[in-house]
Each structure stands twice: as C-alpha cells, then as structure tokens.
Structure 1
C-alpha cells in the first residue's frame, strides 16, 4: 500500500478521521467558545458555511488576478489564509455599510479569507504572504505587516453564521 502523501503541514488528502474532527470541534466549544460566551455575554457563532459556487468563484478570481499581474506565478504558489475575525458591536454597525450583512451577526465570530502567495526569502525559508492581486504585481503588493491602506483587496467573508443560523443540519 502506498504511503499517503504529505506536505509541511501534514496529510494532503483532504480527509480526517471522524473522531478527530469531533474532538477538535469539541475542544473549541468547551474551551474557547465557552470563554468567549461567558466573557462577552453572548452566544457566539461556532461555525460558518460558504456555498461551493462562492468559494470556487473566489478561488478563480485569485488565480485570474494573480496571473494578470505576475504571469509566472503557479497554482502551487497561491493559497488562502483564513483570519479569525469578529463583526462590530451593534452600536458600531455603520462600519458594515460597504459590506452589508444581517445585524444578527453583531459581535460574533467570522472568517475573512485573504489570498496568499508563496515566496522564498534569502535564507531559503518559505513564507506565505498575504497579497492584494488588484494592485501592481504580487511582488509589489505583499502586505506582510507593512501597514498603509489598500483599497478593495480581494477578500471574502460572506458566509452564514451559526448562530444566529439554525444548527439543525450540523453534524458536529
């Protein structure tokens, strides 16, 4: 039997044992989620769902824009970083004006997906840098803690949170 292929982050198969999935999710809910709920006095989101067409469109946009700006970039160079994030409190909801979502999400967890590009530094170490494919070339748009304001970088977070959504269809 052939050994499962791996990368620097573990198995590449896209499969995990059911009991490991349950354990990891339970660890989050029993520790982090409970602490958040108790500290903030809310019932925070414990999952977020994205429809497949939206994810495919997001990935296609990353690939298309990256190729326009830096034609020698390969699929293996690109990735997506998932940032943990939180919606503003209701009293600051005007921050969401340009990105309208339901006020039911106020104060809850979300994810923000940002494209990354793999680059090797002078010491030969590989880094996955956040980038904005909409400006110049990837080499010139590495965000990597530079600060400054970028207008409308590629990013996605329009998924459905649970709660406030009904967890009836969740397995874990």
Structure 2
C-alpha cells in the first residue's frame, strides 16, 4: 500500500516538474553548408563551405510566345544565312545533362573561394561564347578525340567562368584554378595550370576552367524539342 502511494506521489511530482520545465525542442539547422568529402556541418563563413539552397526563391520563367518568337527569329534569320554560307544544316541548339552543369558551377565557386576568400560568390558568373568546332575532328586537338566527327564545322558554345573586378562593373574571364587570373583575367599568352574538365580526357594543350561538349542538334536527334 505504502509503495503504491509513493509511486503515485513520484508520478505526480514528475508531471509537475515537466510542466514547469518542458524539454527544449530540437530544431534542425536551416542554413547548412557542405564541404567536399565531409559530413553536413553548421553554416560558417569558411571559404570552402558552399550552400546551394535556393528553395526560398521562385524559378525564373519566360513567356512561351516570347521563346517561340526568339528561337524562330534566329532560325529564320541568322541560321538561314549560316546554312547558306556553310552549305549544311548547322546546329540550332545544344543539350547538357543537369549533373554536368551542377558539377561545373559548383567547382567554379569552390575552387575560387578555396584560393581567395575575399571573392564574393555573387560576383561570379559565366560568359557563353558562340563558337565553332574545327574543320576536322579530332584533328590536332586530343581534347576532341571523343567528340562525334559530324560535329565538325558546327556552331557550339563554350562557357568560361567570370569574376567581377573589385569596385567595378567589369566581369573578367578567369581560371578558378589559377589565382593569378582572379582579378586581372586571362592574358592572351596564357600558359596556366591544367583544369579538370568533365566529359573530356587529359589534353597536351593548355586548358582553363571551361565547359563544352554538349550534344548538338543537329546533327543530334531532334526529338524532344518543343520548338
């Protein structure tokens, strides 16, 4: 009987204690950063930590009619003249898989901040150069040895990282692997370090951080296009 009364008193006392001293609620961190080859950690200002969470922002959109107008305008004007001059159907679009683009963008930011923590990530960007494959593939370039031969002479794109020069509005092409190019850009006689490029094998020629080798259409399959 006495033990039962003691048990009831203990339960009541514990209930009063919990009521007056509720346990702290565990809240998951909202801002997290991930470093390569490490576990998720709390957000800090360390230069090598990058968080790419834009869930609070809306996806950018364009009007469907505007897209059709602009793409159609290119095909009816510039592309017509290019095809007439080149005497074949040049590419009118290029495709990249999403993982390749995410890896490339990630490494631009990671490599740059790892070498210079004064860089503002908001000042980094990409410059997309209109370009053309050489007359012969692979030709003299070992970096093109895995590219389809029928891509020769076709219009393509090359993306080069940019950094906004301090206290200016000038976006300069730079190599994220070479700090010497961060603020003055890549000189015309550049012989910098070899960068690691996705979808390519090592090259004997000088390279900078760049991305190419998407799938050209044409000569690639045109199925899946909405325009």
TM-score, structure 1 normalization: 0.83
Counterpart CA distance in 2 for 1:117 and 1:134 is 13
> Which of 175, 187, 194 is the equivalent residue of 1:132?
175
Counterpart check, 1:169 vs 2:169: no
Counterpart CA distance in 1 for 2:141 and 2:61 is 36
> Which of 33, 46, 53 is the equivalent residue of 2:79?
33
Match of 1:18 in 2: 64
Indicate how the Cα distance of structure 1 residues 37 and 159 shifts in structure 2: closer, same or farther if over 3 A, else same. same
Question: Shift of the alpha carbon at 1:149?
Answer: 2.6
> Which of 75, 80, 104 is the equivalent residue of 2:126?
80
5+ unaligned residues in a row in structure 2: which ranges? Answer: 1-57, 192-205
> Which of 112, 124, 141 is the equivalent residue of 1:96?
141
Question: Shift of the alpha carbon at 1:138?
Answer: 4.4
Counterpart CA distance in 2 for 1:29 and 1:40 is 15
Question: Shift of the alpha carbon at 1:41?
Answer: 0.5
Match of 1:158 in 2: 213
CA-to-aligned-CA distance 1:107-146 (integer Å, 9 cap, x gap): 001100000001245xxx4011100111134435512xx3
Counterpart CA distance in 2 for 1:31 and 1:71 is 46
Question: Shift of the alpha carbon at 1:103?
Answer: 0.6
> Which of 35, 60, 63 is the equivalent residue of 2:106?
60
Counterpart CA distance in 2 for 1:169 and 1:78 is 32
Counterpart CA distance in 2 for 1:56 and 1:20 is 27
> Which of 90, 111, 116 is the equivalent residue of 2:162?
116
Question: Shift of the alpha carbon at 1:93?
Answer: 3.8
Counterpart CA distance in 1 for 2:98 and 2:183 is 31
The structure number with the bigger radius of gyration is: 2
Greater RCO between the two (CA within 8 Å, min separation 6)?
A: 1
**Matched residue of 2:139: which SS?**
helix
Indicate how the Cα distance of structure 1 residues 140 and 96 shifts in structure 2: closer, same or farther if over 3 A, else same. same
| Moved beyond 2 Å, runs of 4+ | 136-141
TM-score, structure 2 normalization: 0.64
